[in-house]
Structure 1
Amino acid sequence: MKTSAVIDQLKRRFPNEPEYYQAVQEVLESIEDVYNEHPEFEKANLIERLVIPDKIHSFRVTWVDDKGNVQTNMGYRVQHNNAIGPYKGGIRFHASVNLSILKFLAFEQTFKNALTTLPMGGAKGGSDFSPRGKSDAEIMRFCQAFVEGLWRVIGPNMDVPAGDIGVGGREVAYMFGKYKKLTGEFTGAFTGKGIEFGGSLLRPEATGYGNVYFLNEMLKTRNIALKGKKCLVSGSGNVAQYTCEKLLQMGAIPVTLSDSDGYIYDPDGIDEEKLKYVMELKNIYRGRIREYAEEYGCKYVAGGRPWGEKADIALPSATQNEIDKEDAEKLVANGIFAVSEGANMPSTPEAIEVFQKNKILYAPGKAANAGGVSVSGLEMTQNSERISWTAEQVDEKLKWIMRNIHENCVKYGTENDGYINYVKGANIAGFMKITKAMMAQGIL
């Protein structure tokens, strides 16, 4: 198998899907040598079967806004691979959503879920609908219309969606309610639900918490303490908020947050009181991060990203490709020694090359941000058994999962000079688990 040949073939068959090619190329380049050690994989055409989704569902979503106008959006669900368990992955509502992005996310999700040790396949879905500026009633009507196009292809043993960008507890609740109405069943068909109707404690916190737990494991490999380290965090939504919360709990100092309009830099640190303000600003009032700068008198850069500020650690927690080569070079020049991704594929391939060339501790999203889907898997378990665990129980399981993911990355990613290539380690660990399952189940 040659990665370049596979990518060329994908470009011919699926034109104009750059995010999808990028995700596939990054994985295949790191597993190419291992794959070629197994001629039985090539005979079974495993690579082609692994990179092309099992199923892609697309549908029109028609809904009525508050003015009585009929609106239409597109809805999608990409079910990538279910070799090790039911399809599992979030739903994203954002104007940028298209099939290329969802195929990349579903592909990445397949490997991420394999790393968790839980029996979950990979999927992703969403719509080009943007909740920003919409009323609660409009969001409810859209979510209900979206589920009308989705409900037949999801279920607790088939495909279990969760939230993602633009989809939080409110949206999941609306979708779950409509699913329950259509099926007449109360089953764990969604995760990220409210605690009152089958949700798991720590699910909102899990991606951010898990990212910091993974970061801490990385730092231990170089005998570095997290306490006192200044951290650049991008985003200001769920992942960024709980990344900051866990950093504070472990003695670190977050100094930046951002949104699509710009970023704030607070050299004194975003403490617990300031973080509470951010949570209320973003979660209740749907405000913009510039309001933080107005409230606390710190630096605000419109239209910018925080990667030029001085700090010790970077935790990109916003969206894909938010760190390019130039940003990575700035981070290295400013003394950053660790990058742990809370978002999905936030660093471009050129940026990753800069990190690895400079021997930066670099954790790809499929490993570092797997905490969210891990607790989603734990929520599925609780739903199946009709039980609920305490926050302490869930947190201990989350810590164990993140430690286990780190151990597998070290096992498969340690190079001859001792540098741990976490990209290679994560990809090979996930790849071996999925391919062994696919080989055992025959040609499907």
Structure 2
Amino acid sequence: MEQTSKINNWDQRSTTVVDTLAPVQKPFVWLGIIASFILFASIVMTTTWTQGVLFIIGLALGVTLLHAKFGFTSAFRRLASVGNVQGLQAHMLMLAVASVLFAIILSTGFSFTGTTPQGYVSPVGVSVLVGSFLFGIGMQLGAGCASGTLYAVGGGRSSMVITLAAFIVGSVLGAYHLGFWQETPSLPPISLAESTGLGYFWGLILQLFMFAGIYAITVKIARKKNPPRMKPLKTTNGIKRIWRGAWPLLTAAVILAVLNAITLSVRGNPWGITSAFALWGSKFLQMFGVDVASWQFWQQDPAPLNQSVLADSTSVMNFGIILGAFIAAAFQGNFKPGKIKPGVAAASVVGGLMMGYGARLAFGCNIGAYFGGIASFSLHGWVWGIMALAGTFLALYIRPMFGLSNPNPKDSVC
């Protein structure tokens, strides 16, 4: 028997609470496992074992995101609306751990596959400022960022299917218009480790100092505003919580950082998501004779257009995230797609389009630009986070137009 306790007795510092869980949805669990085995076998037989390993990493990412409901969208919204800092504090821990691991990998060239690892270091210019701001608005309307969209789709949240479809459309539009945005004013790519001459050791010290400073600020914000805490997720006792119950937010932060570092050492680049959306949409247009290969976006690397999506490492990781989240939700008994309200559907379309378009302009999303960029010591990752937060503040005024509510400081939890 799983131990039961009332929600109002939860530890004020915890993001989980022991409570009764829904029964395991065994048919869905087996469906997810079988689908994962079939897809893994297809990937390995048609491509390489490296792609198969990346698919497994994607599964692990999906399980982790689902179990902790690890949010980038919700973290920014709670901070902007009521001053809840739990999500942002988890981000700082995740980024700190990832930065340490990335510094080791990038400075030594460590690789599991012999591929020279390279971080995501991109230019800072008008396109990043506009794209990340649009993404910040879009993720609050679409109710999920890039990673949140994928794991929510796998977890059975119906509206996120609409968000994902619009995300793909927006990514294609962004790819089509990228040539224009690349002509706008921009600084060159700036690495806080290499471009500054600090090196990875002192660059790491600088970033850790910045993370600690932000964390200290969040503590002051929490003490001043005394915001409502995050609503704790249901979990269970003992080893069963690994596959059944929710995971603490900080635990998930460390796991995500480690998985991103492993991704860097396996494929040579950090974790990314949205480039696959542009690929999926572009391939769809190719089927109808659209010459997407002539777009400046694809002239940089046209090879994916002529290959199977299983040869695209970002795509196979995305498939893994969706299936991993599906399996995790089924173990928790929470895979229950529901009806979609018209306002939510409209917000999902607008939000998805803005995120897709914004991600292409900003050289990535909350994963490729914010998480991967900052962990790679790229200045553009820090700029992305600031502008996305600014977009979040504006989105708080737009969300009610679609019938979406914002956290209330008078509530006990948010």
TM-score (norm 1): 0.28
Structure with greater proportional helix content: 2
TM, length-normalised to structure 2? 0.29
Structure of higher RCO (CA pairs closer than 8 Å, 6+ residues apart): 2
Higher strand content, 1 or 2: 1
